[in-house]
Amino acid sequence: LGMQASILLLMLFVLGFWLLMNFGAKKFDRYLLPVYPVLDLGAGLAYVAAAGWIWQRRSLQARGRGQLAFLALIIGLQASLALPHYPYCLTYYNPLLGDVQAVINVMQIGRGEGANLAAQYLNAQATIDNRSAPTAASAFPNGPFSYFYAGRTVPPTFWTLADYAVVYAQDFQRRMPSPRQIAWFERLTPMTQIDLHGIEYARIYDLSAAPLPTFVTTWAQGETPQIRLNAYELTAGTVHPGESIRTTFYLENLAPIADDLNVLVRLVGADGSEIARAEGWPWGAPTSDWPVNEIRPDGHTLPIPEGTAPGLYRLEIGFYEPASQATLPAIQSSTDEQLPDLVPLDFIQVGDLPTAPAVALEPPY
């Protein structure tokens, strides 16, 4: 094959791979990594062809200077795009995407860039606040934040153990670990934020004076609170009939529990009809053996039945005594308000909604 035919085949591979990746539900930029070596090879062949064209059309004396000038131009162009973003090279985005807001709308922002700056800020802040080895909640508890942070790092779902929280751009974009926890952070005033090249990469919060989020709930058999829901994780995006949602509740034991209680998790429609449920010992262990102040991640998988009508379905959680089947009363920790025994926690969209709302809907929490 000639050079032109080879380049054409390479570009056909790139186009075909790009089209196939567009059929998937997830479209992370890293999924396109296999095309970059091919594009680099194609660009290299194009540079060689351009240098050859210069060679053929220049005098013998000017050929060397022309090729050196062309090489310097290519290196200078590449350097002018990459060097301004050092040492956070992944903060570069193709200018053809548009302005900063267009990048945020189209791309998932952040792979840990600037996490070291957040750690440096908190290291200095801990000295100012006279806090000894403070704990920070971060989505990178073992990664680009914890490597630079002098204190202890925990995941965002263990925020009750933390003095500070570092919330990254991708956490806001993906509403992780849960929509309600992100909505809570959005209502707080950050201590500072980390900006790189005009894009906000992280916000830092002081949790010591932060009000409790409304999803924090306690249950008790008597007057003393025994179980507290501190946080939860929920499948992001739309699920379809035949698929399953995965949710994890981060439960803390506040006081000894004499009985082995069951947790009940279910999905219900607007009319109260139940489409899925899971129940049993939280964390698969008897609550009577649950050490006080220990936080346990209690995970559940809820299959969506085939034929489920499209719509929003409510996620509910509660506790009950297996012997009597009596449900435990639930209290909202931030207000001491009594909640339904099965607490409405969040919503899941099943299928495509029949009609799109005419106006943007406010979060249901």
Domain count for the chain = 3
In a domain, residue 143? The reply is yes
Is 97 domain-assigned? no
Is the domain of 232 the same as that of 341? yes
Same-domain check for residues 221 and 342: yes
Last residue of a domain, one of 141, 173, 206: 206
pLDDT of residue 22: 83
159 within a domain of the structure (yes/no) = yes
State the Cα–Cα distance between residues 31 and 27, nearest whole angstrom: 7
Q: For residues 215 and 339, what is the distance between their CA atoms, to the nearest angstrom?
A: 11
For the record, the structure tokens of 221 come out as 């058999």
Same domain? 269 vs 323: yes
Looking at the fold, whether 336 and 222 belong to one and the same domain comes out as: yes
Full-model pTM: 0.85
Per-residue burial over 105-143, b if 16 or more Cβ lie within 10 Å, else e, is eebebbbbbbbbbbbebbeebbeeeeeeebbbbbbbbee
Domain housing 150: 115-206
Each of the 365 residues of the chain gets a pLDDT tens digit; together they read 677 787 888 889 999 998 988 887 666 777 888 998 998 888 888 877 777 776 776 665 566 677 778 788 888 988 998 899 999 988 998 888 888 888 888 888 888 999 999 999 999 998 888 888 899 999 998 889 999 999 999 999 999 999 999 999 999 999 999 999 999 999 999 999 999 999 999 999 999 989 999 999 999 998 899 999 999 999 777 899 999 999 999 999 999 999 999 999 999 998 889 999 999 999 999 999 999 999 999 999 999 999 999 999 999 999 999 999 999 999 999 999 999 999 999 999 999 887 765 555 555 55
Of 206, 227, 242, the position where a domain reaches its end is 206
Q: What is the pLDDT of residue 62?
A: 62
pLDDT of residue 58: 64
Residue that finishes a domain, picked among 206, 235, 253: 206
The answer to the question of residue 224 being in a domain is yes
